Amino acid sequence: MIYDVVVVGSGFSAIATVCNLVELLPASASIAIVGDDPGFGRGTAYRTELYLHRLNVPAGRMSLYPDRPDNFVDWLRQHKRPLGAGDFASRQDYGLYIRDCLAELLRHKKPRCRVDFIKAKATGCVERYGTMIGFLLDNGNEIAGRNIVLCLGVGNAKLPIDLSQLPPRGLAHIVTNPWRLSWLRRVEATDRVCILGSGLTMIDQVLALSAHGFTGKVTVLSRRGLAPLDHIKAPKPATEIDVATLPTRMSALLHALRRESSASGDWRSIMDGLRPQTQALWLRLPEMERRRFLRHALPWWNIHRHRVAPDVFRRFDVMLRSGQVSIRAGYLLDVEELNGLTLRYRRRGRSDVSSIEADWIVNCTGMERAGISHSPLLREMQRQGLIEADPLNLGIIVDAQSRIPRSTGSGPDIYAVGALTAGQFWEITAVPDIRVQARKVGQAIAGTVE
């Protein structure tokens, strides 16, 4: 079948795009959403059922619609959740909210365009008649679209070293994807757990262990040993920052931001002021300075930018101060299985080798970058010249309108929304940014569909 729009993907970016398209397209139009995730729109992040897994952005900034900022807070109130705009809702509730937004549109917008959900994975593609792209699906079918929106997100990052040579008994105690929470039921209360990675995923899994009655020791190993910082309950107002006046050399830029932070008395107000302008600042940076940022400043950016809800941080901090959780900085060298797992690592800044004894290794190294290599479809599109990797390998090349440039200057329009566009926009994995991008892409497509 031929559709006016084919959306490839089934996570938040895809659902945000589809909701905007349903609002904007004429009733005569047709949309196909292709994805093999059983929970359309919820993805890994919003499928969790543990109440301690919270959003790391206040509810008042999490509306699906940029022109209706109170939409999510209103949903929380309607569903008798006692939370205000400054509170941090559970990720499970946010997943239900996304589902309800789409369901309400499909039920109540009359007349509306046709929307087909196709539970399959697009594995290949072919250009048809110079006006559309056909997608080959793993169920043996083929569909085609006159406009394409790529909403492929990121997956769980791989372990830092190859452990496939461990014996089966050792492999059975390595959790490569912690979001399959069934692993928690296999852990004994007093086991020793080593978590690789010290970001938000680590905190989620530590709290999940605690909620399941775990009382053993958790040792966290990451290259720099940095853990996310916290939001505060009553933050200062965001500091107004004119990014056009900031230097574009990384060392000078960091110096300027530190100076502003000292003057404000709270670095959070600087980060909050910078937050809505991060894309504009990224666009000003030369490629060399972007590379310097990724190589040297990214870990510090992450712990200040991606903060933890206040009550979640308090729970984690209690475990850290009690010694139940400890964090080490170093580089994993190898793992042996001898009556348990022994991890050998080189401590950061030193040449000597230390070890960690554990019953479990849990991969919390975060999410992989949204490059081309992890997707057979994207690799095929690259081979055909339909897409190109961005210079920093953060995703694919798009223009300021999220459209993929075509070397021939003709053919169907291909857009990307979300993590795939990080090379162009950098700050494009959080809801406040994706919802704006999805709206703009929806408007661009609506202008071409009759």
What residues are paired with 3 via a beta bridge? Answer: 145
Query: What per-residue confidence (pLDDT) applies to 329?
Result: 97
DSSP character for 357?
E
Please answer whether residues 186 and 208 qualify as being in contact, where contact means their C-beta atoms are separated by less than 8 angstroms: no
The DSSP code sequence of 364-424 is: ---B----STT-HHHHHHHHTTS--B-TTSSSB---TTSBPP-TTS-S-EEEE-SGGGHHH
Instruction: Count Cα atoms within 13 angstroms, Cβ side, for 217.
Output: 9
Please answer whether residues 223 and 330 qualify as being in contact, where contact means their C-beta atoms are separated by less than 8 angstroms: yes
Angle between helices 267-274 and 298-305 (to 10 degrees): 100
- Structure tokens that stand for 311 in this block: 């009550």
Query: What per-residue confidence (pLDDT) applies to 407?
Result: 61
pLDDT (tens place) for every residue of the chain, 450 residues total: 999 999 999 889 999 999 999 999 999 999 999 998 766 766 667 877 788 899 999 999 999 999 999 999 999 999 999 999 999 999 999 999 999 999 999 998 889 999 999 999 999 999 887 789 999 999 999 999 999 999 987 767 788 899 999 999 999 999 998 887 789 999 999 999 999 999 999 999 999 999 999 999 999 999 999 999 999 988 899 999 999 999 999 999 999 999 999 998 899 999 999 999 999 999 999 999 999 999 999 999 999 999 999 999 999 999 999 999 999 999 999 999 988 999 999 999 999 999 999 999 999 997 666 678 788 999 999 999 999 999 998 999 999 999 999 765 667 899 999 999 999 999 998 899 999 999 999 999 999 998
The CA distance from 15 to 64, in Å, is: 9
The CA distance from 5 to 313, in Å, is: 42
Q: pTM above the 0.75 mark?
A: yes
CATH topology of domain 168-229+307-363: FAD/NAD(P)-binding domain (3.50.50)
The CA distance from 123 to 416, in Å, is: 17
- Structure tokens that stand for 86 in this block: 């400054």
How many CB atoms within 10 Å of residue 223? 17
Query: What per-residue confidence (pLDDT) applies to 441?
Result: 97
Query: What per-residue confidence (pLDDT) applies to 408?
Result: 59
Query: What per-residue confidence (pLDDT) applies to 36?
Result: 84
The CA distance from 175 to 183, in Å, is: 7
Instruction: Count Cα atoms within 13 angstroms, Cβ side, for 100.
Output: 14
> Dihedral of the CA atoms 393, 396, 399, 403 (nearest 10)?
-170
| Residue type (1 letter), 97 | Y
Please answer whether residues 325 and 206 qualify as being in contact, where contact means their C-beta atoms are separated by less than 8 angstroms: yes
How many CB atoms within 10 Å of residue 78? 9
Domain residue extents for the chain:
2-155+368-446, 168-229+307-363, 243-305
Domain spanning 2-155+368-446 has what CATH number?
3.50.50.60
Strand 122-128 and strand 2-8: pairing? unpaired
* Burial of 79 (C-beta count, 10 Å sphere; 0-12/13-18/19+): exposed
- Structure tokens that stand for 190 in this block: 């007093």
- Structure tokens that stand for 274 in this block: 């910078």
Query: What per-residue confidence (pLDDT) applies to 410?
Result: 67
The DSSP code sequence of 261-306 is: HHHHS-HHHHHHHHGGGHHHHHHHS-HHHHHHIIIIIHHHHHHHHS
Identify how many contiguous H helices and E strands the chain contains and give both numbers. 14, 14
